[in-house]
Amino acid sequence: MGERTSYTPGTFSWTDLATTDPEGAKRFYGELFGWEAEDIPVGDGVFYSMMRIGGKWVAAIAPQPQEQAQAGVPPMWQSYITVESADASAELAGRLGAQVHAPPFDVMDAGRMAVVQDPQGALFMLWEPKTHIGAYLVNGPGLLCWDELATPDVDGSTVFYGELFGWKIEKFADEPMPYWTIQSAAGKGNGGMRAPQPDEPPNWGVYFGCDDVVAGLARVEQLGGSKLMGPLPIGPGTIGVVRDPQGAVFTLYSGEFED
């Protein structure tokens, strides 16, 4: 388990769930990971629920924006990347061919953010921290431990993210399942990249740690979710891909964790 007090720019630092049923999602993830919710009012009867382990924030759950629901977008986990300036990074992303869906805006005194869709179609969030650095605990059971891009154009994604964040992206595994690893500009492991599965749209997916993937898959199904893939051995551990009862996809991981 790693405890964080800050994040280097260009590093994944937070994730939140945009869902059609926040109360149901809080029950599901509370039972699965032992998360406790701290509901923060953000509007008339609307809450952004900070999820905690041991009193420390590790992720969040919030209502899906109405326009997403009306467009048929499924509930999804969203990946946040720390930057020095949300304004400068959003401007650069646009020049590199991305679409800035939500220009930089302040999130109370927590930070400043922007919503960006990369040139290949995957959404991510820029996060300029103020009072909220992101997850205080990572890389352990019930915690965010990996971010993974499914992209139809690995070369294009490599150029885009390399220019935007200074990432170094290298091929890790070859056929039959090619995989690329991402290092931050500071030289730290910072996620991975792969080709999408059939009918899978471009997306950033999140991994959460668990003690045992086989038991985790069974628990997901007991709680009303579904297993999509796994258990599957991968180098330092085992993964399983699941869908929560509201429809959001994420990956369980057990094995070696970075600090």
Report residue 67's pLDDT band, with 50, 70 and 90 as the boundaries. confident
Q: Residue 205: beta bridge partners? A: 148
pLDDT tens string 18-43 = 999 999 999 999 999 999 999 999 88
Alpha helices in the chain (DSSP H): 22-33, 66-70, 86-95, 154-165, 213-222
DSSP reduced 3-state for 35: coil
Long-range contacts of 162-170 (CB under 8 A, 24+ apart): 163/92, 163/96, 164/89, 164/92, 164/93, 164/96, 164/98, 165/9, 165/10, 165/81, 165/83, 166/10, 167/10, 169/193
* Single pTM value for the model: 0.95
Mean pLDDT computed over 157-166: 97
pLDDT above 70 for 216? yes
CATH of span 2-129: 3.10.180.10
Please report the pLDDT score of residue 175 as a whole number. Answer: 63
Name the nearest CA neighbour of 165 among 110, 134, 203, 124. Answer: 124
**Distance, CA of 123 to CA of 57 (rounded, Å):** 23
Mean pLDDT computed over 215-220: 98
pLDDT tens string 80-102 = 999 999 999 999 999 999 999 99
Q: Note whether 240 and 230 are within 8 A (CB).
A: yes
- Locate the domains of the chain by residue range: 2-129, 139-255
**Distance, CA of 55 to CA of 67 (rounded, Å):** 33
Summary mean pLDDT of the chain: 94
**2-129 matches 139-255 in fold:** yes
Assess if CATH 3.40.50.970 describes domain 139-255: no
* Sheet (strand 46-53) strand order: 36-43, 46-53, 56-63, 12-19, 76-82, 123-129, 111-117, 99-107
Please report the pLDDT score of residue 71 as a whole number. Answer: 77
Long-range contacts of 223-230 (CB under 8 A, 24+ apart): 223/28, 223/31, 223/32, 224/28, 225/28
pLDDT above 90 for 72? no
**Distance, CA of 23 to chain centre:** 20
**Distance, CA of 104 to CA of 88 (rounded, Å):** 9
pLDDT tens string 102-149 = 999 999 999 999 999 999 999 999 999 999 999 999 999 999 999 999
